[in-house]
Structure 1
Amino acid sequence: MQTPSAAATPSWTVGDVTVHRVDETPLPPATGPWLLPDATPDVVAGHDWLRPDFADRDGVLHIDSHSFAFVVDGLRVLVDTGIGNGKERANPAWHDLNTDYLDRLTAAGFPPDSVDLVILTHLHADHVGWNTRQANGVWVPTFPAARYLTARAEWDFWAGYAMEEARRQMFRDSVTPVERAGLLDLVDVPAEGARIAPGLRLLPTPGHTPGHVAVELTSRGETALITGDCVHHPVQLAHPAIGACVDIDPGRSEATRRALLASLADTGTLLLGTHFAPPTAGRVTTHGAAYRLLPVPAA
């Protein structure tokens, strides 16, 4: 396997901030019909702008797993940590992976020991996996110098939820070790958002999960927004009513998505999709009664 290089790390500039995409793995074609069942091939075929980047000619959606890393106000920040290696997962596409994610993160200039802040948009298995790595048979924090942030509403919801075994396993290997190490911080996120540092804000985007947040970056008059899972795929710009099968509150998820897209449309804000296949980023523009994404390729 070729060692990833910094030159190969996709990135975008937002004012003085460079946002790097740290790739983990493309997800298999079966992901789309499972995750977004209403995004049928006929629906996808009606939007030629989705092809060839975000869907193929047969209407199969392209969906990826990756993180975003950047430096803001001197803080070295990682947003979401993907699926992780060697994790026991019910979803076969996530089970016992062996990727070079940490090599890619290091090549981007963010070796694990250098990360100051890990922002978890929500506590689903494909967003918290690299929170931990295995050392001597024990799951330990991958980023030992970092604070791990998630919304208090997110933590409180899962704390009172009757988890199935697969979710309990995810908490055991990827969340509880961080909490026990004293590295987990819970943030109250009001309607206007929570300012984490100059130019870095968490925005409440509930529905997919009750405490889900998106991440807003601002620098020198430019703005970017990292979606997490309030938008899984660009087809949802054309059809905001399309939700994910794992949305906790589908109605609220749709309302959040509609409000978010309306706020972004035609503003020039760079949208960075946590599961968007390359080119991954773009600007939301009004298109008929809904929206489309104008891609902004990575540097």
Structure 2
Amino acid sequence: METIRLGNVSVTRVVEYTGTVEMTSRQFFPGSSPELWQENEGLLVPDHWNPRNDLVLSTLQTWVLRSGGKTILIDTGAGNGKYRPYANLWSYMDTDFMRRLARAGVMPRDVDVVVNTHLHNDHVGWNTKLVDRAWVPTFPNATYLMAKTEFDFWNPENGFKQKTAPGNQNVWEDSVLPVYQAGLVKLWEGSYAIDSNLTLEPAPGHTPGSAFVRLRSGNDHALFCGDLLHTALQLEHPEFNSCFEEDEQGALKARRRVLEHAADTKALLLPAHLPGHGAAEVRRDGSHFKIVDWAGFSRI
């Protein structure tokens, strides 16, 4: 496990999965052109795209933060043993993620806070584990932070129409409701201060309650931005979406706003699914952006 320091906060990258998501560039990012991917081959190969078969590469990873004496997890991946009939890649996974978390020095009882940037299937899976045929909280001493807007959107009792509902089938029942019924969920609105270094802020678009974590500590600034960005190409070309956006215009606005802020403040961007070095700094380049440097993690 590798760790970097940002001010008084340590950040460890714990990977659950890396590889193809079994989608071509146009399937994953319908608004992008084949020419754009080909023109940026130097940026994308070998970590983010395979030009031979046009398959996009991705990562499921949890950011482990130690801040103010607390252990904080940002997003919990797909989890093991979850039935996902319309998301086959994440269905009945069987990984050693918990052992990797242990190698990072984190035991389930040690986790103080779990942040779900949103409630898609690949961000909440390790919220729970299967014990005696029942889904129970994996981190029994943690407060699980979920945006109230997001929680209400996915609550089947509210009847919201969801574009990405098929892929999220069973998620409410096996990964959200058990921690809520256990009294571990804190629903937040507006913004939410986790501690003096970390703040949750809304960035609706990908889902109505999508959020990012802003880190400010000493002279360091970082944005843990969930699914605002899915590929390195969006770091430089934010003008196209993934196929998983609930609100396409909202997603475009949120992505550009976060990139502009990162460029202006020299903040490190840490998306949820970026392979390779996993995080990057950007600068403005006309109406687009350029990657200035990658984070200090090894390539995966």
Q: Specify if TM > 0.5.
A: yes
- Give the counterpart of 2:36 among 29, 43, 50: 43
- Give the counterpart of 1:21 among 13, 16, 26: 13
Is the contact between residue 84 and residue 129 of structure 1 (CA under 8 Å) also seen in structure 2? yes
Confirm or deny that 1:242 pairs with 2:240: yes
- Give the counterpart of 1:216 among 214, 217, 240: 214
C-alpha distance in 2 between matches for 1:10 and 1:41? 35
Task: Output the amino acid matched with 1:66.
Answer: Q
Matched with 2:48 is 54
Name which of structure 1's ranges 258-267 and 131-140 shifts more when overlaid on structure 2.
258-267
Matched with 2:3 is 11
Paired residues in the alignment total 288
Residue-by-residue CA offset, 1:8-44 (whole Å, 9 max, x unaligned): x132210121101110001425235333233444221
Structure-2 change in CA distance of 1:31 and 1:112 (3 Å) = farther
Tell me the secondary structure at the aligned position of residue 31 of structure 1: strand
Matched with 2:145 is 149
Structure-2 change in CA distance of 1:166 and 1:284 (3 Å) = closer
Percent pairwise identity: 36
TM-score of the aligned structures, taking structure 2 as reference length: 0.90
- Give the counterpart of 1:68 among 63, 67, 78: 63
Name which of structure 1's ranges 275-284 and 232-241 shifts more when overlaid on structure 2.
232-241
Tell me the secondary structure at the aligned position of residue 180 of structure 2: helix
C-alpha distance in 2 between matches for 1:168 and 1:53? 30
Tell me the secondary structure at the aligned position of residue 114 of structure 2: strand
C-alpha distance in 1 between matches for 2:277 and 2:286? 23
Residue-by-residue CA offset, 1:151-172 (whole Å, 9 max, x unaligned): 1111122232256566351111
Structure-2 change in CA distance of 1:31 and 1:109 (3 Å) = farther
Tell me the secondary structure at the aligned position of residue 175 of structure 1: helix
Matched with 2:76 is 81
C-alpha distance in 1 between matches for 2:55 and 2:83? 27
Name which of structure 1's ranges 34-43 and 122-131 shifts more when overlaid on structure 2.
34-43
C-alpha distance in 2 between matches for 1:259 and 1:167? 27
- Give the counterpart of 2:251 among 250, 253, 257: 253
Task: Output the amino acid matched with 1:23.
Answer: V
Structure-2 change in CA distance of 1:170 and 1:118 (3 Å) = same
Matched with 2:189 is 188
Is the contact between residue 78 and residue 117 of structure 1 (CA under 8 Å) also seen in structure 2? yes
TM-aligned CA deviation for residue 55 of structure 1: 2.6
Residue-by-residue CA offset, 1:243-279 (whole Å, 9 max, x unaligned): 1212110001101111111111153211112100021
Gap regions ≥5 residues in structure 2: none
Cα RMSD after superposing both structures: 1.8
Matched with 2:276 is 278
C-alpha distance in 1 between matches for 2:49 and 2:30? 15
TM-score of the aligned structures, taking structure 1 as reference length: 0.90
Tell me the secondary structure at the aligned position of residue 81 of structure 1: coil
| Structure-to-structure mapping, 1:91-240, within 5 angstroms | 91-159=87-155, 160=158, 161-162=160-161, 167-189=168-190, 193-240=191-238
Is the contact between residue 75 and residue 123 of structure 2 (CA under 8 Å) also seen in structure 1? yes
Task: Output the amino acid matched with 2:46.
Answer: P
Is the contact between residue 87 and residue 167 of structure 2 (CA under 8 Å) also seen in structure 1? no
TM-aligned CA deviation for residue 125 of structure 1: 0.5
